[in-house]
Structure 1
Amino acid sequence: MTNAMAHSRGRRNPAQGRAPAQQASASVGVVFLIVGVLGFLPGVTSNFHQLYWAGHESGAKLFGTFQVSVLHNIVHLLSGVAGLAMSRTVPGSRAFLVGGGAIYVVLWLYGLVINRGSAANFIPVNLADNWLHLGLGLGMIALGLLTVRDPVRR
């Protein structure tokens, strides 16, 4: 069996031949899409009846932990689409990972300085979201910087 057909059902592996940055960007994009969809599912999102368009009043929590709103879920979906679209090229992938990671680090900082009980918390974010944003941001930046192929073959 050739490498082109190594996939379990005889189909070509979509990640084959793609640069690590492209694979990472596509993977992060898929995760964002999944999280965005899960945020709209009762049961996965507790207090679903309290899912509001935006604002700190939204009492819905993804996995019972992460405060979400319709706007928050849409941001995840748009991030997923961006990750997949930008994974078509290596520069696009790196821009998504590093730039998107920087946005999430800024969102973490925003969550640190705002009063989460005020109108400034329009996304909304809670403490769990805030620390997830830091980890996500740093992880995306690391993926963008560490998935560069060495131009000099060893």
Structure 2
Amino acid sequence: MTTAPMAGRAAGERATIRTAAALVGAVFLIVGILGFIPGVTSNYSAMTFLGQDSEAMLLGIFQVSILHNIVHLLFGVAGLAMARTVGGARTFLVGGGVIYLVLWLYGLLIDQESPANFVPVNTADNWLHLVLGVAMILLGLALSRRRT
């Protein structure tokens, strides 16, 4: 029995999870950059550093602030850095997914008009956070599953 095909498949799986984490990280980085571009972000002049009072809307849908954009940038950089190893890629995808599910719950539980909405988030953000959280966790688990 030869182990070469198994070793090749394992190497491919390792490359796949690393690529997935890098792509997700790159998307976060791009979203963070787009949040600072007037036109892509409507009401750009009404963007605040943080808080529910920011009226800036990425793509006219998602409420953003300077802090929100910085978080996207940092999350993107973390994803790209962690994609350098299989363990880091898995941690970024699964751990990042858990963070987004917590953020989704937070967005559901707070009054969006209160100071607790410091990120800020709106209903569209909440739905996106749910989808991102589930997708990242599923990617991290599916791509790191060991086959015998």
The answer, yes or no, to whether TM exceeds 0.5 is: yes
2:63 is equivalent to residue 67 of structure 1 = yes
2:71 is equivalent to residue 90 of structure 1 = no
CA contact (8 A) 1:102 1:141 kept: yes
Distance in 1 between residues matched to 2:116 and 2:129, nearest whole Å: 17
Runs (4+) of structure 1 exceeding 3 A deviation are none
Distance in 1 between residues matched to 2:127 and 2:55, nearest whole Å: 19
Return the letter of the residue paired with 2:60. G
Superimposed CA distance per residue, residues 69-126 of structure 1 (whole angstroms, 9 cap, x where no aligned partner): 0000000000000000000111100000000000000000000000000000000000
CA contact (8 A) 2:41 2:60 kept: yes
Which ranges in structure 2 are unaligned for 5 or more consecutive residues? 1-11
What residue is the counterpart of 2:20 in the other structure?
A: 24
What residue is the counterpart of 2:6 in the other structure?
A: none
* CA separation of 1:26 and 1:118: change in aligned 2, threshold 3 A: same
How do 1:1-154 residues align onto structure 2 when only pairs under 5 Å count? 19-148=15-144, 150-152=146-148
1:150, distance to aligned residue in structure 2 (A): 3.6
Distance in 2 between residues matched to 1:66 and 1:17, nearest whole Å: 34
Specify which structure has the higher proportion of helix.
2
Instruction: Give identity over the alignment, percent.
Output: 64
Distance in 1 between residues matched to 2:132 and 2:145, nearest whole Å: 22
1:137, distance to aligned residue in structure 2 (A): 0.5
Distance in 1 between residues matched to 2:87 and 2:147, nearest whole Å: 15
Distance in 2 between residues matched to 1:83 and 1:32, nearest whole Å: 8
Distance in 2 between residues matched to 1:67 and 1:77, nearest whole Å: 16
CA contact (8 A) 1:20 1:149 kept: no
Classify the secondary structure of the residue corresponding to 1:147. Answer: helix
Q: TM-score, normalised by structure 1?
A: 0.86
